[in-house]
Structure 1
Amino acid sequence: MRQSGTREEFEETLAKLPLRERKKILTRRKLIRVAVELFLERGYDQVSVAEIAAAADVSKMTVFNYFGTKDDILLSPMEEHIGDAAKAVCERAPGETPLAALHRDFLERVAALDASVGMSDEPIVLKLRSLIEETPVLLSRALVFRRRSTALLAAALAEETGDPVTARLVAAQLGAVGDAISEENRRLLLEGRPLDEVAANAVQVAGRAFALVEHGLAGYAVKEAKGEKEAKEAKGEKEAAAS
């Protein structure tokens, strides 16, 4: 069960599930929370699976029933989303471009406050992302996930178009848009910005970013001649004063 929306919405959805399923989800979340707390306190390499099990009051075997390795405790939520972009493109409506499909999918995830696009202000989620960024072995695997996601998207595009080279180029650009905005969402939340403010900003930034890819980079960041910027600013001020 992927978590999106507010805590209240998650708990409401959870309450509708059978007891056994609820227990599995809650145990999994508890293991992640306990592991993150231990890693932050002592360092990732200094904590064993046995110590995580003891702190969570479960057996070591229980931990391995949920996660194959220690890395998986932190990275499995990310791995669940590797195929999201390819899925959105493959399931798009007739007449819809891959770019439009991914833009729409991204906005839907922002609206749902989906953690996969950085839209979660839960302390445990923010701590988890920081921990991954600060731990080389975890960051390395996270980057592999991104490459796999791009490869899956490229494969889906190549199958449709028959042009694998262009498909890889397009997949890299579209994947980078989502990654960049998601990282910005997390950065703003770590600064303490309200979730609704971050969501509104993400919608605006996504509009600009996807438009930039759609219309190409021909007019992007053209370097102005010396003094040209100041002249434009002065002209703008003069026009504003006249109005």
Structure 2
Amino acid sequence: MDGKPGLRQRKKDATRSRLILTALELFEEHGFDNVSVAEIAEAAEVSKKTVFNYFGIKEDLILGAGEHHQREPAAVVRERPSEVSVHAAMRDYLRTALDERQPFTGLNDNPVVLRIQQLVRNTPQLAVRYYAQQMETRRLLAEALMEEGSSRFSAFLVAAQILSAQEVVVGENVRRITEGETPDEVYPDAVRAAEHAFHLLENGLGGFDRELRHAAPGSPRTAAPDPSNTGPE
């Protein structure tokens, strides 16, 4: 065994990719609301049933490729060494994803990834589905925290903070890539932003607030260098 997928899996992967690209092209050309699953199936030369074998709903033709990420944060928490904090484990998870330029980090300029991001931004139904996926990720992470003895309230509060911090880092990456920077140009700031975000989470926002309150009058009110500040325009 060489670890490569077998012929059957390669065919399934090829069909899945063809469906995604076909749907993307039709949605871009006609609008998400104006394209049916039957039309996608016909254009991809498969049956409507085949489409639903791969994707539960129409929105997942665009967002389904990232579904496996929904369970990753919970798995990271469950599988971390006992001496590693939840925040440190999630920071390292994000750092690894940034290193690998994984699409969900926003640090990826693959043309198809950029097209999908734009379509989601411009399509309310896809934005709603994306939000629902984020809420499911939060729920799964909170469940993992409750398994360790956290109260439900604290678990959901911490899960929300962690995933919101990650989303802010990702959003900044997406913004800069969309404006024309390359992943390699953005990467150093993305790493600093991730470190800064999880430092604030793990050490408490109180320190941030105290530094703001004790800033000298007239001086910039910032507790730490903004990792997204890349210098003068």
Q: TM-score, normalization: structure 2?
A: 0.85
Larger CA deviation: 17-26 vs 99-108? 17-26
Residue 229 in structure 1 maps to residue 219 in structure 2: yes
Show CA shifts across 1:16-36 (max 9, x none).
322221121122112111111
Q: How many angstroms apart in 1 are the aligned matches of 2:47 and 2:70?
A: 30
Aligned equivalent of 1:164: 152
The residue identity in structure 2 corresponding to 1:218 is G
**Cα offset, 1:208, TM superposition:** 0.7
Q: How many angstroms apart in 1 are the aligned matches of 2:119 and 2:141?
A: 27
Q: How many angstroms apart in 2 are the aligned matches of 1:189 and 1:34?
A: 24
Aligned with 1:220: secondary structure? helix
Residue 96 in structure 1 maps to residue 84 in structure 2: yes
**Cα offset, 1:144, TM superposition:** 1.3
- 1:41 pairs, out of 21, 26, 29, with 29
**Cα offset, 1:229, TM superposition:** 2.0
Aligned equivalent of 2:108: 120
Aligned with 2:59: secondary structure? helix
Larger CA deviation: 166-175 vs 95-104? 166-175
Aligned equivalent of 1:32: 20
Aligned equivalent of 2:43: 55
Q: How many angstroms apart in 1 are the aligned matches of 2:142 and 2:10?
A: 36
Residue 137 in structure 1 maps to residue 125 in structure 2: yes
Aligned equivalent of 1:192: 180
Residue 75 in structure 1 maps to residue 57 in structure 2: no
Q: TM-score, normalization: structure 1?
A: 0.82
Give me the CA root mean square deviation.
Answer: 2.2
Aligned equivalent of 1:237: none
Q: How many angstroms apart in 2 are the aligned matches of 1:225 and 1:115?
A: 38
Count, aligned residues: 217
